Amino acid sequence: MTTALVSPAQLTDPELHTTDDAHALWQWMRANAPVHRQPAAELPEFWSLTRYEDIRTVYRDAATFTSTRGVLLRPAHLGDDPGGGLTLALTDAPRHKQLRGLMAEWFNTRAVRGLEGYVRAATRTVLARAVDLGECDFAHDVAGRLSLSVICHILGVPDRDHEDLYRWTNQAFDAHISLVSHPQLMEYFTEMLYLRMEQPTDDLVSALVNGTVDGELLTEEEAVLNCENLIGATENGRLALIGGMQAFLEHPDQWARLGEDRRLLPGAIEEILRWTSSATHSMRVATRPCDIRGTRIGPGDRVVLWLPSANRDEEVFHDPYRFDIARTPNRHIALASGEHFCIGSTLARAEMHVLFTELLDSVRRIDQNGPVRRLRSIAVNGPESLPVRITAH
């Protein structure tokens, strides 16, 4: 960790998150300004929370802190998120529970167990290609392709279209635009919705178009936005895979330790989640007056929860800046807490489990082959590019 002198105002500068300096700032804020008011500028005014306990408390009190006005900071002139009240992440009880019920059976432990064969086959395909290439970008050639294939499979996108979806999703991310603003993705899912409406199959898109909330079918807009949201949320799954690989490349002793004792893998996955904390922030808006650490928060105030900070909180984690695959306890909140707890958590863990197992089994060496480039974003953080050379046995 570097100790560059930065001020809390810089937390919203995407450039800061291309370095490790945000951690130095969060450490300072936890000690000196755990409930910090950020005045309005391009972004509206908001409170920053950096301590684990405060962040967890807000997540677990959805009645006081609504998700319907958006869960990510947006420039003030854009107003509230137009997906408010429509997508799973941007809905409150009781609608949230019903919408989540429509999707949950695609992501629960049983469903993910049923997907393991697909995940393993997809992992072997991307790894075989990476080995053939010799030098590749772990971010694009392995993690990105793998996580997108899996979510496409769940949604019901046929394998032949995965490459198109992958390209469009990357174009949207590269241009820093919402996936919904990408016409090809929108058109693709709209067409698919109508096909599934007429002829439902065993996939999540069919469940979205034919399931009901409050006794009513979802609108076309709701169904498309939720598909887009699932593809977008998968970015976190991809970042956990890349960030995990980077952590092992930087801590070869931990990789060797895992190779010697595979029973450490579930704990290693939790440590990767804590260490990478790829979702940088969640936002909530207060619905009524409340106090956080003696500071009065008013109705309508935005509260921003900085997750990587919570997961390095020295009051909760022993030696938090150490990557330790045998860390116990490890009650990180990288996947949130409370009713909006990540619906893709079991899937993300399964993808990591399969990928790192396959790498240990089928690869002789993985070497970093160029500099890591980190994402320039305040929403998600982690490597955008991780050049590696993979050598098979």
Shortest Cβ distance from residue 246 to ligand HEM (Å)?
14
Nearer to ligand HEM by Cβ, of 60 and 389: the residue is: 60
Shortest Cβ distance from residue 140 to ligand HEM (Å)?
17
Nearer to ligand HEM by Cβ, of 27 and 91: the residue is: 91
The answer to whether the peptide bond before residue 75 is cis (omega within 30 degrees of 0) is no
Nearer to ligand HEM by Cβ, of 168 and 306: the residue is: 306
- Long-range contact pairs involving 98-102 (C-beta distance under 8 Å, separation at least 24): 98/213, 98/214, 99/213, 99/226, 100/339, 100/343, 102/207, 102/208, 102/211, 102/213
End-to-end CA distance of the chain: 35
Residue 34's φ and ψ, nearest 5 degrees, are -70, -20
Shortest Cβ distance from residue 134 to ligand HEM (Å)?
28
Shortest Cβ distance from residue 66 to ligand HEM (Å)?
11
Nearer to ligand HEM by Cβ, of 188 and 275: the residue is: 275
Quote the CA–CA distance of 322 and 80 in Å, as a whole number.
38
Closest CA relative to residue 17, chosen from 26, 242, 52: 26
Which residue has the CB atom at the shortest distance from ligand HEM? Answer: 344
Shortest Cβ distance from residue 136 to ligand HEM (Å)?
22
Nearer to ligand HEM by Cβ, of 55 and 290: the residue is: 55
Q: Cβ of 31: how many Cβ atoms within 10 Å? A: 11
The answer to whether the peptide bond before residue 158 is cis (omega within 30 degrees of 0) is no
Shortest Cβ distance from residue 311 to ligand HEM (Å)?
10
Nearer to ligand HEM by Cβ, of 115 and 292: the residue is: 115
Quote the CA–CA distance of 116 and 335 in Å, as a whole number.
21
Residues that bind ligand HEM (CB under 6 A): 67, 71, 88-89, 100, 151, 229-230, 233-234, 236-237, 240, 273, 278-279, 282, 334-336, 340, 342-344, 347-348
